[in-house]
Structure 1
């Protein structure tokens, strides 16, 4: 694959405030019950629901204070670089008993890109959604994460 060829992209729906913490606060671990073999680019899609209990987690409380939590929208692009089983608290964001998906190259979008549908697990975003996200990325980031040139 050359840098100009589109890369396979997946969507990942994440409840708020977890999605905002990935996009804006350096949350580089996403905790999930099931491991996935997929490694690559994902669109961080803020889901329809808010995890109210998560706001009590100290790192999240600092992020959500005064922040509008977008829902049903793509707010960032990232790359799943690795996944490992619970190895203790590898970061302040990791939870015991879960698989820890290591996120790298997280790039917050300037504006949320509305998208009503998400789902548990990884999903295939429509090409039109990826194109709307691409409009907000500089050329280097688009090539690196999406494999798309201008």
Structure 2
């Protein structure tokens, strides 16, 4: 399993299913599961972009956290149609940045709460086994029902 670090608000948009790509400077041959890690930096200029506003960006959302894994996704394909060409167009939508590779993401699964972790900008990185175990446990852990909590003594 691999991970990618993405600045907010883009990481939030991926986790909430609004954004199905990650803009990257390099392509990848990797296809498979990635942890979506929210980087420690916010791209403040992006918070005012129309697609971010339309998606309902909310800095109070738990998945707007910084320095944490907030979702799991699958890298399904990489669009290289626009890489290196500012005038080229692809079908990756309004989130696609011209001149970069668009890593297409599917099977998005947001986590119920962020898992704090150090990340690394600039492509794929390998998460520690303990982080992967924590994410897997959260994905298979059944949700707690409020009635069960109220009956405990």
The within-5 A match list for 1:41-52 is 41-52=33-44
Matching residue of 1:97: 99
Question: How many pairs align?
Answer: 131
Q: Who is 1:31 aligned against?
A: 23
Deviations 1:119-143 (A, max 9, x none): 321100011000000111138xxxx
Q: In structure 1, how many angstroms separate the alpha carbons of the residues matched to 2:100 and 2:122?
A: 15
Distance (whole Å) between structure 2 residues aligned to residue 33 and residue 117 of structure 1 = 17
Unaligned regions of 5+ residues in structure 2, if any?
83-87, 142-153
CA contact (8 A) 1:13 1:120 kept: yes
Query: Which residue in the other structure is 2:75 paired with?
Result: 80
Q: Structure 2 length normalisation: TM-score?
A: 0.79
Q: For residues 120 and 99 of structure 1, what CA distance do their matches in structure 2 show?
A: 12
Which runs of 4 or more aligned residues in structure 1 lie more than 3 Å from their structure 2 counterparts after TM superposition?
Answer: 65-68
Compute the RMSD of aligned alpha carbons.
Answer: 1.6
Displacement of 1:61 in angstroms is: 2.0
Distance 2:114 2:17 in 1: 16
Q: 1:84: how far off?
A: 1.2
Corresponding residue to 2:122 among 114, 120, 126? 120
Task: Show the counterpart of 2:66.
Answer: 71
Q: Deviations over 1:43-83 (max 9, x none)?
A: 00000000011112112123324534200000000000000
Normalising by structure 1, what TM-score? Answer: 0.81
> Which has the larger displacement, 18-27 or 58-67?
58-67
Do the aligned residues in 2 keep the contact of 1:89 with 1:95 (CA within 8 Å)?
Answer: no
Q: Separation in 2 of the partners of 1:47 and 1:66?
A: 14
